[in-house]
């Protein structure tokens, strides 16, 4: 990958994704995103035009999930820190949150360093995505201060407390915690309307699981965002240097 790359999507290069595996991570939190990313293509007519390139990092060569399944990592957390500039997206999984938070263990360091990297180099498009209770780790590091976010519905109260503690500790704005969202996206390429009209706050499905009407609007907005060239000056002025921050709740990926 070119060190001067600003947008992998615009340049039709594979988007480089780093997935952090802590011990006792939730296996579903890994399987869902990997299935989606591995099936995504820049050109659906060309099976070789992979849209994403995935690298898995862990403390050990083999990482035990909470479900008892062992997954191989490709690089160590130390290597991940050294190669952090190579990645466009950092994915943080849920699982083992009590131990990780108590010991201040990885992936907390990766989260912090990735966000600092964006602040130092806002010309590059970067995204951090948390799955399920992975958002608790983002909250602890203060990444969500001044932003909107969601998490697994069973952890909303704990999530709110961690967000509040981080805001107080770092003298930052509070987090707008959204309970009934499937996912929430911050630092978009362009401004949107009110929250109820925002296609990047995906609410839970209603009417026997059918998608709400704003799903189509979200698709339209996504297409529009790719046709517009984002202002680097505008991005640099955003919180976290324009780092795109996405939090998701415990939902199906299909």
Report d(CA 23, CA 37) in Å as an integer: 22
Report d(CA 97, CA 106) in Å as an integer: 11
pLDDT higher for 217 or 196?
196
SS3 of residue 192 by DSSP: coil
Which pLDDT does position 127 carry in this prediction?
Answer: 98
> 206 forms bridges with which residues in the sheet?
210
Two structure tokens written together for 223: 């297409």
> Does residue 30 come out as left (phi exceeding 0), alpha (psi in the -120 to 50 range) or beta?
alpha
pLDDT band at residue 12 using 50, 70 and 90 as cut-offs: confident
Which pLDDT does position 210 carry in this prediction?
Answer: 37
pLDDT higher for 16 or 1?
16
pLDDT band at residue 5 using 50, 70 and 90 as cut-offs: low
* pLDDT higher than 50, residue 152: yes
In this prediction, residues 148-165 reach a mean pLDDT of 97
CA neighbours closer than 13 Å in the CB half-sphere of residue 124: 23
> 15 forms bridges with which residues in the sheet?
52
Report d(CA 243, CA 119) in Å as an integer: 8
Residues above pLDDT 70, as percent of the chain: 77
Instruction: Show Cβ contacts of residue 105 under 8 Å, excluding neighbours closer than 6 positions.
Output: 22, 99
Domain 15-248 has CATH 3.40.50.880: yes
DSSP state of 240: G
Which pLDDT does position 215 carry in this prediction?
Answer: 33
In this predicted model, what pLDDT tens digit does every residue of 39-60 receive, in sequence order?
Answer: 999 999 999 999 999 999 999 9
- In contact, 187 and 246? CB cutoff 8 Å: no
**Does the reported pTM lie above 0.75?**
yes
Two structure tokens written together for 176: 């707008």
In this prediction, residues 29-44 reach a mean pLDDT of 95
pLDDT mean across residues, the chain: 85
């Amino acid at each position: 990958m070119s060190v001067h790359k600003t947008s992998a999507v615009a340049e039709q290069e594979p988007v480089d994704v780093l997935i952090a595996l802590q011990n006792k991570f939730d296996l579903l939190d890994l399987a869902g995103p990997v299935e989606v990313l591995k099936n995504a293509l820049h050109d659906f007519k060309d099976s070789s035009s992979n849209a994403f390139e995935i690298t898995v990092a862990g403390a050990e060569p083999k990482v035990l999930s909470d479900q008892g399944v062992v997954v191989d990592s490709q690089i160590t957390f130390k290597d991940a820190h050294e190669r952090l500039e190579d990645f466009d997206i950092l994915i943080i999984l849920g699982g083992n949150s009590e131990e990780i938070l108590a010991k201040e263990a990885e992936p907390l360091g990766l989260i912090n360093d990735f966000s600092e990297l964006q602040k130092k180099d806002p010309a590059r498009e970067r995204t951090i995505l948390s799955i399920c209770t992975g958002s608790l780790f983002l909250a602890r590091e203060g990444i969500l201060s001044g932003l909107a976010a969601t998490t697994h519905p069973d952890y909303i109260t704990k999530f709110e407390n961690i967000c509040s503690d981080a805001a107080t500790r770092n003298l930052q704005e509070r987090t707008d915690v959204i309970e009934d969202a499937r996912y929430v996206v911050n630092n978009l390429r362009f401004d949107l309307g009110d929250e109820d009209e925002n296609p990047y706050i995906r609410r839970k499905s209603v009417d026997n699981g059918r998608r709400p009407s704003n799903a189509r609007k979200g698709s339209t907005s996504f297409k529009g965002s790719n046709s517009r060239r984002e202002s680097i000056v505008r991005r640099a002025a955003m919180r976290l240097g324009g780092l795109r921050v996405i939090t998701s709740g415990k939902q199906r990926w299909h």
